[in-house]
Structure 1
Amino acid sequence: MSNAIVTNILEDYLGNIWIGTYGGGINKYDGNLFTYFTKNEGLAGNEVSSILQDQDGRIWFGSDGGINLFDGKFMTTLPNTAGLSNTIIKAILKDHRGHYWIATNGNGVFKYIPNLLEQSGTIIHFREEQGLINDIVLSLCEDQYSNIWIGTISGVCKYDGKSFTYYTEKEGLSNNYTNCILEDRQGSIWFGTYGGGVTKFQPKTADRHGSFTHFNEKGGFSDNIVRCMMEDIDGNIWLGTETSGVTKYVQGRDGHPASFIHFSEKEGLCNNAVLSILEDSKRNLWFGTRMGLSILTSKKLASLSQKIKSGLTKESDIFFKNYTYENGFLGVGCTINAIYEDNGGIVWVGGNDRLTACHPLVTETTFDSIAPNIQLTGVSLYNESIEWSNLEQHQDSALKLGNGVTIKNFAFDSISRWYSVPHNLSLAYSNNYVAFNYVGITMNQPKKVKYQYILEGNDEQWSAVTLRTEAVYGNLAAGTYTFKVKAMNADGFWSDELTYPFSIRPPWWLTWWSYLLYAVLLLTLVYYAQRFQKIRIVRAEQEKSKQKQSILNERLRISRDLHDEVGATLSGISMYSHIAKEQIKAQSNIDLLSSLNIMQESSGDMVKKLNDIIWLLNPEQARLQQLVEKLEEYIRQLAEYKNVAVSVDIIDHISVIELQLEVRRNIYLIFKEAINNSFKYSQAGSISLTIRSAEPNLEFILQDDGVGFDIETVKRGNGLNNMHSRAKEIGATLRIESSPGHGSRLSLTYRVPS
């Protein structure tokens, strides 16, 4: 080729490929040979910006020197009468009438009307003086109504054959600098701008008003600089941007709103600066970028679009097939709109320094299914490489690293053949900063091999996909580990996992025999602690029993002393007062006799009370059975003098129930008081005492058939108040029921502690 920088590509009706270059003129390739056209061969300029073939088979070239027309034999330069010479041509458009529109960089637009009878034709020049908005013209487009849209650095002009209509930021454009223009099949005009994203214009018709819709970064669009646009066979608009990849605009249809889908380096595009887009005859998409070529097949496109919509894309997904300098695409990058498919299905891609022809099979057979061969190339400690092969015979030695760390007490079985990696490495607990180096070996795009790794025993899940070939782990705890790593080639095929087991030994105080010793010591401590606790409990029980027995003995001694000393004395007083009374009777000393009677009754009453106290203090009288017998004895003694029928009923077994001293005392005194009152005031013919045991409660019931009494009146007396106080003191419930003429009933319910 005459020059490496390709600007335009065209296949003519005969199958020849015409290649415009920047500085090298035109290259014609007929399948075998290149033919060159430069200024020497009659070309107006060597910097070719556009190529077009008309319906008569003639080839038009726009260059920095003007317009050339090639009829198959002769190269003709359009006349200079309108100023076409020395003009940089940015674009050429052939309208439906066969007229040619020529956009220039600073000299406005030329309209060329061919004359079939003459070799030359008519040229009409449009500049700012003729109504053009700016003389620097970047893009041209003809719509379905035969209007010519002219994109400039100051906005867009629409020429309807008679006059210009302006569209700028004032009228609704997102930015005046218009790089490219496209009319879609729905009649909307798209303007790709430099700085304002893309603007969609829906012209005014009989059914709708004209409107502008902006898509820019402020509104959520991916980029404000749009370099190229293309409408695919389904009516979707593809927008190539400067820094954010390519965006697919899906037209709203069937009740579904329009939407954008973004494709960038994150999804696998080789570069985010997209300068040219092509949909080939097999519906594969080609994207020319500043770093190379990306291909997205129709099958991969459907899968990728679905994953992007659902948010399920992963780093390990491969959708684009990328061609860069590393894998055969010899260009530094692609140029704007320099991509073309010829009739044979070959895609021609213009780059900054060469032209590349891509065979149609490139989209079918380019995926490399051979996974990389993953190898572990090294195991480092504390960021220092170690020659393990030099240590194989000196595993009992110590090694001081360059950073001052000393490695010792290590062990391994053998060394790998190629990379000097120790097998079954065992490290001391103090050497627990480990790094693993690995590589995925492949013959195709080795720099694009990606990795995932995991350290079983430390990591819960695999790492993110990465290009790094080193995994570092610090401060590892003692234990057994397995490092696993796998490699993925540029087409998404994964290798098998490489596994590397190793261990970090614990310090002596964390070894199994240390734990065994700790367990023995712990069991010994537990044994002696339990033994000490049992001894302490036994001693406490013994002390408690001793104290209890001491109290019982003391109570027994007191009761005996009271019986023997005080009781005997009071009995003697009673006896001698009786004798004195009998002696005085004979002498008829009435006053002295009365005093002695009182003395005798008081001492007798004192003896009875003292006997009650002695009975209550006696620990051998603690059972409920003995309390009941005491009450029965008391009630029957009184019944002998009053001629009253008495019944005592015991329901359920009560002989094993024991009561505390205060409980026995208060129950006894309550019922003694009640029995006395019944015999003294009730005039009863019968009295009954009933004792029931319904666990956990005891119930005592005293009932007579006497004259009864008014409870409200009797409540004021001390007797009933004392009985209620005694019941409350032991937590019992006392209930008294009576009314005049209907007898009386007293019940006491006591809950026996468990």
Structure 2
Amino acid sequence: MATDNGLYVISADGAPIFSFDHNWRTAAFIENHNDLLQLQCDSELYTFEAGRHPALIKQAAYISVNSRLQHSGAQWTGTPVGLFFDKVSAGHPSVGQTNYGTQVSQSEIYQLMPSGNELWAATGNGIELFSGDGKVLKPYPALDLLKDETIYALLPDEQQRIWFSGIRGIGCITTDRKRIIRFSSKNNLQSLEFNHNAACKGPGGRLYFGGINGVNAIAPSSYISEEEVPSVSIFSLFIADTAYTQGIVSSMPQIRLNRNAAHIRGSVFTADYPDAADQRFSFLLQGYQPEWSEPAPDAGFSYRNLPPGEYRLLVRYSDPCQNQGEPELLLTLVVEPAFWQTLWFALSVIVSIIIITVLVARKVQGIRYANRIKALEQEHAIEKERLRISKDMHDEVGASLTRISILSEIARSRQQEPDNTQKVIEQISEIAGNVVDELSEIIWAMNPKNDSLDNFAAYVRRYASTYLEASTVDVKFHFPDTVPNLPMSAELRRNLFLIIKEACIM
């Protein structure tokens, strides 16, 4: 037994055999190999004869090691900076050794324990498992419950269960490695905090764990039972704040909730545990909650305003020793969605959008096609108008030039007759003036700036005044004070002007 006052060896009947006085701050047994006991104290390693006559053999400086043992033909060394695996040094431990081999874990190792072909390591992050060749093994289900918990010591019992101590008391891992049976202050523990490397197995299979206030001895064969954790049942159930009256059975049917009253609450119970105040329950609504609720004595659950979807309500039982049962399904829920939240509505909207898009695209395409036809018709009309204007100009100018040519020949032949020649020349001048007027009319008709009613009225007034000025015809114009600026097509202007022109001639 290593204490802060030294090392003591005691016989099976409690009589002192050997003592080594020393004022150590920390002390930890490293290994028992070939009747040699190695004790690490602060930064030194003490080697003792562990036979019938214990004695100090060697003392040397030493790098901190929390646990070391031989397993599967290799040397395993647990240190504050991790676990090391060394095949080369197997069977040949060296005092003061600094090279521990290959590092297989970075967790702080407090104790190593072989179990069959596995190596168990008590660490600052729970319990880690390793194969004989140094590979990390997948943890058992029970070990998942110890993640992030500091474990100081490991001991096996005669029933192949694994006992451990740490900063949350003592626990026992069942033989199937699925459950953890814990002990609390109600089980007469010296405290919930124990020391590392402070555990050993005594005669009769009794286990000893040292803590900050003393030592706890446990007789596993007579103390612990591996009875199953009690099952949990629904005690009361309210759906949409109305009591469920269809009977609560172990296998509840699927419950459907209206989205406007998506509320459910109730409570659970277990009939297999005598003290209800010591029971703990955790709830998880799959599809709604990301994690389990913390274990609490309150056996009630309540969920309000659930969004549309499918849910499974699970419960998990915990006893006073923090032993947790398997999750149990209480019931399944379906919250009906609104019609606009359903798949068929979404598909209908998508199909409607596609149809509307197609119709709009076709409409736009039709408008573009109609505009294109209209543009082509306008181009054709413009081309037709150009051909007409060119034909009119050709006819008018051609006829006038022909008359001028004929009159010119007549004038040439009548040079000896001044009076007749003068008349011919006046006719030629008149014809030329008419040609100019005709061209002016054509140019006016072609100018798009004149495609308005007010410009047309002004031109008609000017033309009639000029044309009838030398005649005896009395011309009167009846126009409003303000002629509206209404658009007129070139064809309409031309036709109206020809009518007015014909009236002036007649």
Query: What is the TM-score with the length of structure 2 in the denominator?
Result: 0.50
Which structure is richer in relative contact order (CA contacts within 8 A, separation 6 or more)? 2
